[in-house]
Structure 1
């Protein structure tokens, strides 16, 4: 179910709107809202593109999408339970005008679940307004540290085939020479464009891709940490753990505790 099919979010005459769905289905179309948007993944996982960057929302994580941000859903697990809340925010609030992806602490999780009582309600309710105002006012304090876990989508079409190859073969030992041959660009030209477009070296880009995929696998609960490490291309659990900590700033075991 997609709220845009039945409700014009920007035409609602209320400061907040709650939409919870057991089995979420969203169209793959870029769009924006005048309201800010909190997306919480209770189960499953979700990819979201915001302003040209792809973010992964594993289970028990949320994204704050600022008002006016161009975004779309990329793909998701077969079964996903999403809780989405739209909110008017003050122009003066710098926090509410930046994208944030974060693990959801228990108190915020309970507040989000409690807000389900107003799901899909288009009428004004003073209790709903009071409760959600408190939730969104406290949001900056709930987000102790945001995950800077995203990959930029290159705008230069010359990178299209090489980036696609990298996304399909991230678990292998891909070299810049391989991508140079695929893109039919000289090694020097490709290295320059790649860094300019993605903001990363090939090694860093591949590392982030691997960790994003590992988060997806770990949040699904089907594989152990060891199985996940080998699945995404690491030769040992130790190497995977070091890489995971470098990107996420926590250990895989800590992440599993959050999502299970």
Structure 2
């Protein structure tokens, strides 16, 4: 957690705990909690590894991490505003047993921001309990369409160099024959092993990397859609838009509006 605090979440007896940081600092160590947790990115972006999958949380997105799920934080933007809310959840509802990454609707956003007033309070508060119980009871209804913003980390050692290469060269044209040489297997074997380990073909994996990286760039507010398209390897804005919509089910312009970058930001 935050290196500047010594709050031990699993020793807290209260059912809910709110933790807000204006500039969050992580220790990047795999860990787990008895409580489930809602991670909300108010500004900036955050990568999280949960059960061997890497997820991206852009600005104004949240992730639900189930109880006891092994996770850690990865790289993030230089300055990030983050709210984490821990909760004892309803074990009868299967929603709380699954990872969910989703865009935060206005009502939930306001509820999360209101809860900031209880940040780091370790003593139980009746009003806090009533309010957060209502928030977490409604959470499954807020998450109508969870995003599939994740990529799997393969366990097969033969894919280590392939994955490393893909992550460093996602924005270039990649020849599968070169990847086969890295893995010391035939192209056919590589395709089979890769799909089995990640659930994606090599081309789909590269597409996911490009879209995830583009979300990071757009969330920073430093790049337009067209600049982002070329930075992640697309030869036209149209090609990027088609790929983005295929993965996200909405357009880059919709994403820009959703994260509230403001009318002063250029879109094109």
Q: Same fold (TM over 0.5)?
A: yes
Following TM superposition, by how much is the alpha carbon of 1:191 offset from its aligned partner in structure 2, in angstroms?
A: 1.4
Preserved CA contact (<8 Å) 1:54 1:150: yes
Distance in 1, matches of 2:123 and 2:200, equals 47
Distance in 1, matches of 2:49 and 2:121, equals 27
Q: Which moved more, 1:171-180 or 1:120-129?
A: 171-180
- Partner deviation per Cα, 1:63-105 (whole Å, 9 max, x = no partner): 0001011100011011001000000011101111110000111
Match of 1:155 in 2: 155
Measured at CA, do residues 152 and 192 of structure 1 come closer, stay the same or move farther in structure 2, by a change above 3 Å? same
Following TM superposition, by how much is the alpha carbon of 1:175 offset from its aligned partner in structure 2, in angstroms?
A: 2.1
SS at match of 2:254: helix
Measured at CA, do residues 230 and 218 of structure 1 come closer, stay the same or move farther in structure 2, by a change above 3 Å? same
Q: Which runs of 5+ in 1 are unaligned?
A: none
TM superposition score normalised by structure 2:
0.95
**Equivalent pairs, count:** 260
Q: Which runs of 5+ in 2 are unaligned?
A: 262-268
Following TM superposition, by how much is the alpha carbon of 1:2 offset from its aligned partner in structure 2, in angstroms?
A: 1.0
Match of 2:199 in 1: 199
- The answer to whether residue 95 in structure 2 is matched with residue 95 in structure 1 is yes
Measured at CA, do residues 108 and 20 of structure 1 come closer, stay the same or move farther in structure 2, by a change above 3 Å? same
Following TM superposition, by how much is the alpha carbon of 1:143 offset from its aligned partner in structure 2, in angstroms?
A: 1.0
Preserved CA contact (<8 Å) 2:3 2:25: no
Distance in 2, matches of 1:69 and 1:245, equals 30
- The answer to whether residue 51 in structure 2 is matched with residue 34 in structure 1 is no
Match of 1:50 in 2: 50
Match of 1:137 in 2: 137
Point out 4+ residue stretches in structure 1 off by more than 4 angstroms. none
Following TM superposition, by how much is the alpha carbon of 1:232 offset from its aligned partner in structure 2, in angstroms?
A: 0.4
Preserved CA contact (<8 Å) 1:3 1:19: no
Match of 1:125 in 2: 125
Following TM superposition, by how much is the alpha carbon of 1:144 offset from its aligned partner in structure 2, in angstroms?
A: 1.5
- The answer to whether residue 218 in structure 2 is matched with residue 252 in structure 1 is no
Preserved CA contact (<8 Å) 1:55 1:150: yes
SS at match of 2:139: helix
SS at match of 1:64: strand
Following TM superposition, by how much is the alpha carbon of 1:188 offset from its aligned partner in structure 2, in angstroms?
A: 2.1
Following TM superposition, by how much is the alpha carbon of 1:3 offset from its aligned partner in structure 2, in angstroms?
A: 7.3
What is the RMSD computed on CA atoms of the aligned residues? 1.1
Preserved CA contact (<8 Å) 2:3 2:27: no
Preserved CA contact (<8 Å) 2:170 2:232: yes
Q: How does 1:159-178 map to 2 (within 5 A)?
A: 159-178=159-178
Distance in 2, matches of 1:139 and 1:4, equals 30
SS at match of 1:6: coil
Following TM superposition, by how much is the alpha carbon of 1:183 offset from its aligned partner in structure 2, in angstroms?
A: 2.0
- Partner deviation per Cα, 1:132-161 (whole Å, 9 max, x = no partner): 000000111111210011100011111111
Distance in 1, matches of 2:237 and 2:76, equals 26
Q: How does 1:195-234 map to 2 (within 5 A)?
A: 195-234=195-234
Q: How does 1:9-28 map to 2 (within 5 A)?
A: 9-28=9-28
TM superposition score normalised by structure 1:
0.98
